[in-house]
Structure 1
Amino acid sequence: MSEEIVNNSDVLSIEEISRRHFLKVGVAGLSVLSSHSGYAKENESSGFLPFNELAIQQASGLRLAEGFKYKTLCAFGDPLHAGMKAYDPKSLSGEEQKKRFGAACDFIHVFEQSDDKAILCFNNEFPELGGHPDRAEREQAAYHSVGVSIAAIKRDGRDEWKIDFLSQLNRRVTPSSKALITGPAAGHERMKSKASPDGIRTAGTLGNCAGGYTPWGTYLTAEENVQQYFSGEIKGHKEEENFKRFGMNDNGNFFARLDPRFDLNSGYQSALHFGMVVEIDPLEPNEPIKKHSMLGRCRHECAKVRVNKEGYIEVYTSDDQGFEYIYKFISAEKYKEGDRQHNKTLLEAGVLHVAKFAEDGKMAWLPMIFGEGKLTKEHGFNSQADVQIDSRKAADLLGATPMDRPEDIDIDPKTGNIFFFMTGNRARSRDKLNSANPIEMGAGHIIELNDQGTQGKWNFFVICGKFSGDPVNSTFTQETSLSGCFVYPDNGAFDRDGELWVCSDGYSFPGFTDGLWHCEKKDDRVISRRFATPPKAAEFTGPYFLKNSKELFLSVQHPATNPSGSFPDFNHLKARSAVVVISRD
């Protein structure tokens, strides 16, 4: 699109939100825009800019641009509490894992309390296996390795971040943690089972990929690939249509052996309780987590929050599967600065919308309201609860735009523009192209939206791939090196100076290596430079820049064991996912 994207007049800018608010909850998860030009400011430094681009080479360890270093903060299986032994895979039982950092670290948020104290929250997307000699214990440990990890952190005498093992806030949220269903689906007949007779009180979270945070200081985690945890025959099941759409079948993992909730043939089954956005209060370790049906049920990838000029909460979330959709929730009640208890109810009522993109660079948010349009009994919807439980089916009927695996979403804190990360869709054929997904077998792209409430104006920030001189198939500039080109943009963040950084998930894509890139818009194209490369077989996830602009928290997910050692230990231990802190030497 040639039309310039302008500032969003409907959204509070960073400058308009109080300094006191940010000292309390930070700005992690917010993001910045294409108009910023880090490499044009040769005489300035944002802490990470400028840097000399890293070569494409991958190794057994984490590689950074020259002049930068990293420290491992924590890894799968490390202790959360004082008096615990160091990680030993052979003694990692189910009970032990409940008190240790979880596996497959993904989205990160740091609630910065001061310059030297903070609360670290990060997702544990899928299980990692320890080495306990008893299979049952290995599986129990893996069961409790998913969910979310929460820990207080503080600086030590060398000004490095360490876990505060004495904090009462340190905990794991796992598939067995107490939870409550909120919103229209709460208490609905479809949500009731032997495991949850009232359809409200439930347990657990898993498949946690990206996420977000709220202005009132709670953590949001998005349940994505929940289907792989369930096993059972779905043919003839009363929820056959829903389960089939999610990809559930009789080939799930071992969870059904450990917990009847994950057996689709069991009266305890709770499959409809997963695939939601989950709210966790890091300051209230004894409070049940909340599973918000108001934000829909799908393979949620993220949940990015802002307050609009009228004071209502908007949450952007995506469904990470080919030909699925992008959603926006608008709260029924207004945000009240300082009223935390009121604000903690804001995601329980409102209206969910789904995105429809048009050829002319405009788009519309279609309200998903029972009784309106095709969301009626004639099409299988008997209540608003059905609309929320079957969000995908509702979006189909409304004519929303099927996307190329929408993953992360970030918000420019200066303009309010929204960035949608499309990770790619190798199943996109010529007959299924649309204006917002124009490439056959797409390798990914990023869309920028100037959202104006119920409608907006959009453009492509970048279309990914190797530069070929063809502006349709790749919109990187000719200045972008082969090391700077990327595919499958997965997640990203804006640093405190408004510079966009992107992580990829394209390890299996021929000719590409995953990494972390700084991206800058120059005219209608993007110049991208590689800043970091993960260990072999790993990907970076969840980048978070501290307010000091000098430190970056980053997840290193699923590194591979190799002959020269294992990340992050480089000793006899099997490779494991970890969170690192990056800074200048």
Structure 2
Amino acid sequence: MSNNSHNPKPRPGDEPICNHSNNPTFSSILSSRLQRRQVLQGGIAAAVASFFASPALNLISGSAKAASGSALLGFKAIPVSEEDLIVVPEGYTARPLVAWGTPISGNYPEYKLENTGADQGMQVGSHHDGMHFFPIEGEDPYEGSSTEGLLVINHEYVEPRYMHAAAVGQKLDADGYPVNADGKRDPDQVLKELNAHGVSIVHIARQENGTWEVVRDRLNRRVTGLTPMEIHGPLRGSDFVKTKYSPDGTMVRGTLNNCAHGVTPWNTYLTCEENWAGYFSNLKTEDQKPSLPREQSRYGVSTGTSRYGWELASNGADEFIRFNATPTAADATQDYRNEPNGFGWVVEIDPFDPNSTPKKRTALGRFAHEGVVFQPPVEGQPVVAYSGDDARFEYIYKYVSAQPYVKATAGGHLLDNGTLYVAKFNEDGTGEWLPLVFGQNGLTPENGFNSQADVLVNTRTAADFVGATKMDRPEWGAVDPKTRMVYFTLTNNSRREEAQIDAANPRAKNNWGHIIRWKEANNQPNAKQFEWDIFVLAGPPEDSRKLSGEALNEDNIFNSPDGLWFDADSRLWIQTDISESLMNKDEFAQFGNNQMLAADPETGEIRRFLTGPIGQEITGVITTPDQRTMFINVQHPGATTTDEEFAAGNQKSRWPDFDNNIYPRSATVVITKNDGGIIGT
């Protein structure tokens, strides 16, 4: 996601703190656990060190081997970088592919600044994020061709200043947009921004010279902020999602702020709606104060102009005014007071059926979904998936299907009927999954919950009520295919105050973030208990720890872990998202540009594999089935360009085109090993 959590004044795309419950924070639990293990004097730092060196860590994986003995990591670590380039280890090659604006369908309009909104609907979207490579056979998401397939890419958000000819020369920051003299917005600009959101499905194939190219094919498709979608699961037909567009509460238009993703065992793609709330505005007031229902206020729906002001489109078209959620009519079927309730979900897309309608799977809960990660499916057992709510002091969730997985009949229906749980982390290294089920754990009418639809549209409020543990921005998850252990990035949370050190946090202001992991009881994914521990505390050498108990060093210092993925050999790939407002400044300068590292989950060894260009986030990672081609995404290069620099035409990045007439563009990067070997070896 666009990571601005360090900035005391959040930007429009940065979700405000919405969790005002008294639930314990993960930091307070970790701090209590660390302090009980502290056997040497020296404060919290010594406690952290003793924790990492203690046998408690071995509750999960056994003693860590010598860090230098990793058999998984066969490359030499690269240094940090501030260059406007992709840097990979010696013996590897990186090439850009399918940059924002690449034509993929319709009349294949070539990218140019003057492209219309309709043109954008036939081009690759903006701000690439999570993605997956589906082998072209269409039978299995991880097995099949390694030379041809469908690359399915999320598009998280847009920078309007880079999208419109009318923005040239204006003083605009990364969220600024052009407006007309009367304060209204040009409708075609709004259409272009909506069409740059969503998902791109792109048929690609490797050429004889080793490069990859787009294949013109009927399977190429754009799913955007306007694409009709079906509502499935407990919310379908409920009063919460009835609107002027869908009076029966079964449909909604579009998907927004598509961050990380998921891949189902039945070969479909899940795109996850993250910081969607700020796209909507609700101006309703009572006693001259904002008056929002809890399903909007708990998520941060704007009480002023929305993030991009789409509701201000001068033509007043229905597809644009829906972003104004202020009640204006006699009931919900005549206005868009419920439009925000159609967002915050996981959306299922069949990439091999261009005529299929995407489906919002509401049983998986409503929050700032970073992604969805599945346990390997087992015939006859429930499907189990995890998801993080990427905001400060929010929660980690698990979904367990009611029906068992049967490969021959498996499908999206398994995501419509099941139990959503939220995690509670205990001080002794155990944890429990608390069910968010109407009628259980006090989720009853007496406490303000009137149905399962009510529980799910208010997932955060339900999690507050049952006593879940507040976490530091849970982002991507990953499941080790060999051990079934689950890993999650906790990116950072600088909002902790100094006073919390004594009993609430091992480090004042968690600027650096960390990665947690857990093992389900008896190694059963649908268990209701688990054991947890810390895999790595990110940060500089003086304030970090890896699995061996040693500090990070020049080969692997990093902060703000975000993207996370296990390859088939159990290498853990870690991607970072330092806020563009802090990148290469002050104490963050030592980390350089955002990067990707690889880790051995058994030894804890970590090495830096890649650094990206100026102002970007490294996000999204997948390989072909033979592991000899890797795809990663570079999002928002040049985002560190200030409004003054933009107005003057001084762009800090020109990646990937390096053309003074072309703005920086998000793009996928194809990485290969020059000897044709497996990536990472």
Partner SS for 2:266: coil
Q: Distance in 2 between matches of 1:144 and 1:359?
A: 46
Contact in 2 for aligned 1:464/1:476 (Cα 8 Å): no
Q: Distance in 2 between matches of 1:345 and 1:469?
A: 46
Q: 2:119 is matched by which residue type in structure 1? A: E
Contact in 2 for aligned 1:234/1:244 (Cα 8 Å): no
Q: Does 1:254 align with 2:277?
A: no
Corresponding residue of 1:230: 280
- State the 1:479 CA deviation: 7.0
Q: Does 1:73 align with 2:109?
A: no
Structure 1 residues 433-582: aligned runs within 5 Å: 438-442=506-510, 443-452=512-521, 453-468=527-542, 478=550, 480-507=552-579, 508=582, 510-511=588-589, 512-513=591-592, 514-520=594-600, 526-560=604-638, 566-571=654-659, 572-582=661-671
Partner SS for 1:144: helix
Q: 1:532 is matched by which residue type in structure 2? A: L
Partner SS for 1:64: coil
Q: For residues 558-582 of structure 1, give each alpha carbon's deviation from its aligned partner in whole angstroms, at most 9, with x where no partner exists.
A: 0017658611111120001001101
Q: 1:293 is matched by which residue type in structure 2? A: T
Q: Distance in 1 between matches of 2:421 and 2:507?
A: 26
Q: Does 1:355 align with 2:423?
A: yes
Corresponding residue of 2:225: 175
Q: Distance in 2 between matches of 1:187 and 1:34?
A: 52
Q: 1:179 is matched by which residue type in structure 2? A: M
Q: Distance in 1 between matches of 2:548 and 2:390?
A: 24
Q: For residues 33-74 of structure 1, give each alpha carbon's deviation from its aligned partner in whole angstroms, at most 9, with x where no partner exists.
A: 9979996356xxx7xx42222121211122222222111111
Q: Distance in 1 between matches of 2:435 and 2:652?
A: 54
Cα 1:456/1:127, change in 2 over 3 Å: same
Cα 1:244/1:476, change in 2 over 3 Å: farther
More displaced 10-residue stretch of structure 1: 239-248 or 167-176: 239-248
Contact in 2 for aligned 1:358/1:435 (Cα 8 Å): no
Cα 1:437/1:157, change in 2 over 3 Å: farther
Corresponding residue of 2:156: 125
Q: Which structure has the larger Rg? A: 2
Corresponding residue of 1:366: 434
- State the 1:530 CA deviation: 1.5
Q: For residues 301-346 of structure 1, give each alpha carbon's deviation from its aligned partner in whole angstroms, at most 9, with x where no partner exists.
A: 111123257521111011000110000011111122122xx52211
Q: Does 1:242 align with 2:295?
A: yes
Partner SS for 1:221: strand
Q: For residues 221-270 of structure 1, give each alpha carbon's deviation from its aligned partner in whole angstroms, at most 9, with x where no partner exists.
A: 11000012112315458743222221112131222234122101151241
Corresponding residue of 1:10: none
Structure 1 residues 3-42: aligned runs within 5 Å: 3-6=57-60, 40=69
Corresponding residue of 1:151: 202
Q: 2:364 is matched by which residue type in structure 1? A: L
Gaps of 5+ in 2: 1-50, 137-144, 168-185, 314-319, 328-334, 522-526, 642-649, 675-681
More displaced 10-residue stretch of structure 1: 361-370 or 112-121: 112-121
Corresponding residue of 1:274: 343
Out of 220, 243, 247, the residue aligned to residue 270 of structure 2 is 220
Q: For residues 152-201 of structure 1, give each alpha carbon's deviation from its aligned partner in whole angstroms, at most 9, with x where no partner exists.
A: 11122223221111x11111111111111111111111211112211111
Cα 1:403/1:518, change in 2 over 3 Å: same
Q: Does 1:290 align with 2:354?
A: no
Cα 1:469/1:334, change in 2 over 3 Å: closer
Corresponding residue of 1:23: none
More displaced 10-residue stretch of structure 1: 68-77 or 380-389: 68-77
Contact in 2 for aligned 1:36/1:499 (Cα 8 Å): no
Corresponding residue of 2:407: 337
Partner SS for 2:229: strand
- State the 1:407 CA deviation: 0.2
Cα 1:308/1:574, change in 2 over 3 Å: same
- State the 1:285 CA deviation: 1.5
Corresponding residue of 1:18: none
Q: Distance in 2 between matches of 1:151 and 1:333?
A: 33
Q: Distance in 2 between matches of 1:382 and 1:402?
A: 25
Q: Distance in 2 between matches of 1:549 and 1:345?
A: 31
Contact in 2 for aligned 1:493/1:501 (Cα 8 Å): yes
Gaps of 5+ in 1: 8-32
Q: Distance in 2 between matches of 1:151 and 1:34?
A: 44
Q: Distance in 2 between matches of 1:447 and 1:203?
A: 36
Corresponding residue of 1:28: none
Q: Distance in 2 between matches of 1:391 and 1:564?
A: 41
Q: Distance in 2 between matches of 1:206 and 1:435?
A: 39
More displaced 10-residue stretch of structure 1: 307-316 or 71-80: 307-316
Q: Distance in 2 between matches of 1:84 and 1:300?
A: 32
Partner SS for 1:243: helix
Q: Distance in 2 between matches of 1:34 and 1:78?
A: 49
Corresponding residue of 1:89: 113
Q: Distance in 2 between matches of 1:438 and 1:278?
A: 37
More displaced 10-residue stretch of structure 1: 533-542 or 462-471: 462-471
Cα 1:164/1:40, change in 2 over 3 Å: same
Out of 388, 410, 413, the residue aligned to residue 318 of structure 1 is 388
Cα 1:206/1:36, change in 2 over 3 Å: farther
Contact in 2 for aligned 1:331/1:350 (Cα 8 Å): yes
Q: For residues 508-564 of structure 1, give each alpha carbon's deviation from its aligned partner in whole angstroms, at most 9, with x where no partner exists.
A: 2623332011223576xx442211111111010011122222221000000017658
More displaced 10-residue stretch of structure 1: 174-183 or 500-509: 500-509
Out of 461, 471, 495, the residue aligned to residue 403 of structure 1 is 471
Q: 1:568 is matched by which residue type in structure 2? A: P
Q: 2:344 is matched by which residue type in structure 1? A: G
Corresponding residue of 2:324: 263
TM-score, normalised relative to structure 1: 0.88
Corresponding residue of 1:304: 373
Q: 1:69 is matched by which residue type in structure 2? A: T
Q: 2:657 is matched by which residue type in structure 1? A: D
- State the 1:5 CA deviation: 4.3
TM-score, normalised relative to structure 2: 0.76
Q: Distance in 2 between matches of 1:86 and 1:356?
A: 50
Structure with bigger helix share is: 2
Partner SS for 2:507: coil
Q: For residues 5-29 of structure 1, give each alpha carbon's deviation from its aligned partner in whole angstroms, at most 9, with x where no partner exists.
A: 448xxxxxxxxxxxxxxxxxxxxxx
Q: 1:378 is matched by which residue type in structure 2? A: E
Contact in 2 for aligned 1:411/1:419 (Cα 8 Å): yes
Partner SS for 2:196: coil
Contact in 2 for aligned 1:357/1:436 (Cα 8 Å): no
Cα 1:220/1:36, change in 2 over 3 Å: farther
Q: What percentage of aligned pairs have identical amino acids?
A: 35
Cα 1:469/1:247, change in 2 over 3 Å: closer
Q: Distance in 2 between matches of 1:488 and 1:384?
A: 35
